[in-house]
Amino acid sequence: MDEQTLSSTTEPEKTIAQATAASAERASSEHRQAYGTAKTENLRDSGIWRVLLPAVVIACCAALLIIPLVILIPLLYNSIHAIGTNNVTEAQLVWVWITMIIIELGLFFIISRGIIKIFLTQAGNYQR
């Protein structure tokens, strides 16, 4: 009984050793071509995105501030100027333009802070 258990445990070891030897012989005779992996490829970039990303983010934040103010400030100026000319209907809109400017500034600070945190902090993490 002991002989059978000993022979049964050594037989699989022999077959495994024979299989690995056969696969090694087959592998040496086959033509293999190695494809690049992330470890072997040249992953360097030009680094231009480190300049462009912050520039685009800052330009978009500036546009987010400037475009509405370019529209609202002349409207506010005309409403203030209408007070001196006794144009009552246009002078009543001063509060609307002031309110719109305050709302726009608040939205600008909220949106730009979020955009800057998302894009500029991540770009700083990938320094060389």
30 three-state secondary structure? coil
| Model pTM score | 0.57
CA dist., res. 55 & res. 120, Å (int): 10
CA dist., res. 104 & res. 124, Å (int): 29
| pLDDT one-digit tens code per residue, 8-54 | 555 555 577 676 666 666 656 666 666 656 555 566 667 788 888 88
For residue 89, how many C-alpha atoms fall within 13 Å in the half-sphere facing its CB?
0
* Contacts (Cβ under 8 Å, ≥6 apart) of 91: 79, 80, 82, 83
Does pLDDT of 105 surpass 80? yes
* Contacts (Cβ under 8 Å, ≥6 apart) of 47: 128
Q: Which of 6-10, 15-19, 105-109, 112-116 has the lowest mean pLDDT?
A: 6-10
| pLDDT one-digit tens code per residue, 63-86 | 999 999 999 999 999 888 888 887
CA dist., res. 100 & res. 81, Å (int): 18
